């Protein structure tokens, strides 16, 4: 990791109404690194990612991206700085065609990030190339998931937040998704993903945070977690 991480989250605290979801949560993602936020349903994974990208307004704490404090910025500003967000539940625009979905995500290229064009994305996701004109709502779940990733990449981000990318996908598609994440990493993209699926997380990540009830309980290298049966037992086994 570089001296200063690419994404630094410190003391994040968030509420829905008066229910506190995140408690003094800190994490970081280094340049070119894949970090995973592991935790059960309702642990606060999605809220963490949403707070980082500005969809949830944190009550306290700070988010620093590329040495710029972005806490409290509106989402579109954060995204334009190169921090991409892939939501859970594939929020594709189902009435729009595949090509139109991609057009919504398009942003100017950035020097510090891999640059994407529709053609390059179609190389990465060959399935999408064959159905550019199709309405997104008529695609399979796996294809929709690929489209959400591709759509975010159209913004040429230098770091992306991936919210539960393996959720609800068939095993063969999960493997494809893992391969995709590997390919993105190899092009220099930094990634923070949230996951419940430990096997999937092990395939793709360098480092892991375990979140439970809105607090980070464990952090370290993925390889260490693989050996730490006690931690796995305590925080991850359902």
Partner 1 sequence: MTGQIVVQFLTGLAGAASLFLVAAGLSIIFGVTRIVNFAHGSLYMLGAYIAYSLTERLAVGTIYGFWVSVVLAALAVALIGAAIEIAILRRIYRAPELFQLLATFGVVLVVQDAALWIWGPVDLMGPRAPGLDSSVEIMGQRLPEYDLALIVISPLVLGLLWLLFYRTRWGILVRAATQDREMVGALGRNQAWLFTSVFFVGAFLAGLGGAIQLPKGGADLLIDLNIIAAAFVIVVVGGMGSITGAFLAAILIGELQAFAVLLLPESTLVIMFLAMAVVLVVRPWGLLGRPVAEHAAGRAAEPLLRPPGRTQRMIWGAVIACLLTLPLIAEDFTLTLSIEIMILALFAASLHFIMGPGGMVSFGHAAYFGLGAYGAALLATKLDTPMELALLAAPAIAGAGALVFGWFCVRLSGVYLAMLTLAFAQIAWSVVFQWYELTGGEDGLLGIRRTPWADSRIVFYYLVLAACGVAIYAMRRMIFAPFGYAVRAGRDSRLRAEAIGIDTRRFEWMAFLIAGAMAGIAGGLYVYSKGSVFPDEMSIPRSVDGLVMVLLGGVQTLSGPLFGAAGFTWLHDAISRLEYWRFILGGTIIGLVLAFPEGLGGIWRQLEDWVRRRRAVARQAKP
Span 37-76, contacts to partner 1 by CB under 8 A: 53, 55, 59-60, 74-76
Distance separating alpha carbons of residues 11 and 217, to the nearest angstrom: 14
Q: Are 23 and 70 spatial neighbours (Cβ–Cβ below 8 Å)?
A: no
152 near partner 1, judged by CB under 8 A? yes
Q: Which helix (H) or strand (E) holds 184?
A: helix 171-186
Stretch that binds partner 1, among 103-111, 123-131, 169-177, 197-205 (CB under 8 A): 103-111
Q: How far is the CB of 4 from partner 1 (least distance, A)?
A: 24
Nearer to partner 1, 55 or 203 (CB): 55
Question: What does the DSSP 8-state code read for residue 158?
Answer: S
103 near partner 1, judged by CB under 8 A? yes
Contacts with partner 1, 215-234, as mask; x by CB under 8 A: --------------------
Distance separating alpha carbons of residues 21 and 212, to the nearest angstrom: 10
Q: How many residues bind partner 1 (CB under 8 A)?
A: 35
Q: How far is the CB of 182 from partner 1 (least distance, A)?
A: 24
Q: How far is the CB of 81 from partner 1 (least distance, A)?
A: 9
Residues in Cβ contact with 93 at an 8 Å cutoff, skipping those fewer than 6 apart:
100, 101, 104, 136
Contacts with partner 1, 74-93, as mask; x by CB under 8 A: xxx--xx----x-x-x-x-x
**Residue 103 CB coordination number (10 Å):** 13
Residues in Cβ contact with 5 at an 8 Å cutoff, skipping those fewer than 6 apart:
28, 29, 30, 31
Distance separating alpha carbons of residues 156 and 230, to the nearest angstrom: 40
114 near partner 1, judged by CB under 8 A? no
Which is nearest to 72 in space by CA: 55, 87, 84, 85? 55
Nearer to partner 1, 32 or 58 (CB): 58
Which is nearest to 193 in space by CA: 183, 213, 179, 207? 207
Nearer to partner 1, 212 or 228 (CB): 212
165 near partner 1, judged by CB under 8 A? no
Q: What is the binding site for partner 1 (CB under 8 A)?
A: 11, 13, 15-18, 20, 23-24, 53, 55, 59-60, 74-76, 79-80, 85, 87, 89, 91, 93-96, 100-101, 103-105, 107, 151-152, 155
């Amino acid at each position: 990791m570089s001296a200063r991480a690419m994404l630094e989250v410190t003391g994040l605290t968030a509420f829905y109404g008066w229910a506190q979801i995140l408690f003094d949560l800190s994490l970081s993602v280094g340049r070119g690194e894949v970090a995973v936020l592991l935790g059960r349903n309702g642990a606060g994974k999605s809220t963490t990612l949403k707070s980082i990208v500005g969809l949830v307004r944190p009550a306290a704490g700070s988010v620093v991206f590329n040495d710029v404090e972005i806490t409290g910025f509106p989402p579109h500003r954060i995204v334009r700085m190169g921090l991409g967000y892939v939501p859970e539940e594939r929020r594709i625009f189902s009435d729009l065609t595949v090509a139109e979905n991609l057009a919504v995500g398009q942003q100017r290229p950035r020097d510090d990030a891999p640059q994407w064009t529709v053609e390059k994305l179609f190389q990465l996701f060959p399935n999408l190339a064959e159905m550019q004109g199709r309405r997104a709502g008529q695609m399979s779940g796996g294809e929709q998931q690929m489209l959400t990733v591709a759509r975010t990449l159209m913004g040429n981000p230098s770091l992306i937040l991936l919210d539960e990318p393996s959720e609800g996908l068939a095993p063969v598609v999960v493997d494809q998704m893992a391969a995709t994440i590997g390919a993105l990493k190899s092009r220099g993209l930094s990634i923070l993903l949230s996951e419940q699926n430990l096997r999937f997380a092990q395939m793709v990540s360098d480092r892991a945070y375990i979140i439970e009830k809105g607090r980070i309980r464990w952090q370290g290298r993925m390889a260490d977690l693989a050996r730490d049966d006690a931690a796995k037992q305590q925080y991850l086994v359902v």
